[in-house]
Amino acid sequence: MSKRDFLSIPDFTADELHSLLDLAGRMKSGAYRERPLTGKTLAMVFAKSSTRTRVSFEVGTLQLGGHALFLSSRDIQLGRGEPIRDTARVLSRMVDGIMIRTFAHADVEELARFATIPVINGLTDLLHPCQILADLLTTLEAFGTLKGKTVAWIGDGNNMCNSWLNAAGVLGFELRVACPQGYEPDRGIFERNAALTSLLVTGDPEEAVAGAHVVTTDVWASMGQEAEAAQRAEAFQGYLVDEALMRRADPKAIFLHCLPAHRGEEVTEAVLEGPQSRVWDEAENRLHVQKALMAMLMG
């Protein structure tokens, strides 16, 4: 069988995503005790900072019997201009899987094209599919199902938002995005998924959260957009997730944030630390879903 990659949510079918989330749940509960990565190595290439992604993949590999290599692109030859396609072929001769976090999504696609081992997207400017796996698991823990659930995305139409759109399309739940003009999600991703499920893009956060089961947001300036931070802070006025906005959602609604969060910008302290927040479970779930993903691709 040829190798499988995980560059975006639609790389997996709905059935495969459900199997992955089920396996992650069994790993979390302790019911799963296998070590399918015994003797195997994951190369983790980072061109951007990370806490959760780095720690979840490294600890996850270890718990499954394998070993992880942290490769900052500043320190490997990639950062000095060695081509991605050469890095892909060299790593493929030595390790069993590659997880990469970088800027251009096309770079990850090129890495996957030239690698003969599974490649996992640990975040690009376009997508963050690994985080969405954790968000889906956290949503399932809260509601038992995704069927009939509505997710409201408030803020930037960024990599997280694009991956939520993909998840909604593959799994068939409703997603409403509230964002300022000029900060909409990727048009192609929106259109592909709008053909599969109910999607809305609005400039009104209250319209997006009305009766929603999941309310979620992210920073206004992602990694690589630091120079635009002031201009973005202005554009995103009115997109703060606060208790008043949460009251418009379903009474049992949960709040998710991939973290790191900027308290007082995209979300208030009261919501982030409040009774509806599941952000710490969501962060922990990175470990369980990353393990399930590696077991499926590299095990």
- Residues near ligand NVA (CB under 6 A): 123, 128, 158-160, 218-219, 222-223, 258
**C-alpha span between 108 and 129 (Å, rounded):** 13
Query: Which residues in the 53-82 window bind ligand CP by CB under 6 A?
Result: 53
Within 111-130, the residues that bind ligand CP by CB under 6 A are 123
Strand partners, 201: 177
Given ligand NVA, ligand CP, none, residue 159, with its beta carbon under 5 to 8 Å by kind, binds ligand NVA
For residue 51, the partner it binds in ligand NVA, ligand CP, none, with Cβ less than 5 to 8 A by kind, is ligand CP
Interface segment toward ligand CP; rule CB under 6 A; list 13-21, 49-57, 90-98, 191-199? 49-57
Q: Say whether 286 is catalytic.
A: yes
Which residues lie closer than 8 Å to 238 by C-beta, 6 or more apart? 180, 205
Amino acid code (one letter) for 252:
K
Burial tier of 14 (Cβ tally within 10 Å: 0-12, 13-18, 19+): middle
Amino acid type, 148? G
218 is catalytic: yes
Q: How many Å apart are CA 157 and CA 155, to the nearest integer?
A: 7
Question: In a 10 Å sphere around its CB, with 0-12 CB exposed, 13-18 middle and 19+ buried, how is residue 45 labelled?
Answer: buried
In the complex, least distance from residue 129 CB atom to ligand CP, rounded to whole angstroms: 11
At 106, list the tokens: 């096309």
Is residue 225 within the footprint of ligand CP (CB under 6 A)? Answer: no
* 33 carries an active-site annotation: no
Catalytic residue among 5, 54, 96, 101: 101
Size of site (CB under 6 A) for ligand CP: 8
CB of 135 to ligand NVA, least distance (A): 12
- Answer yes or no whether residue 99 interacts with ligand CP by CB under 6 A: no
| Element of type H or E holding 174 | strand 174-178
Catalytic residues: 101, 128, 131, 218, 258, 286
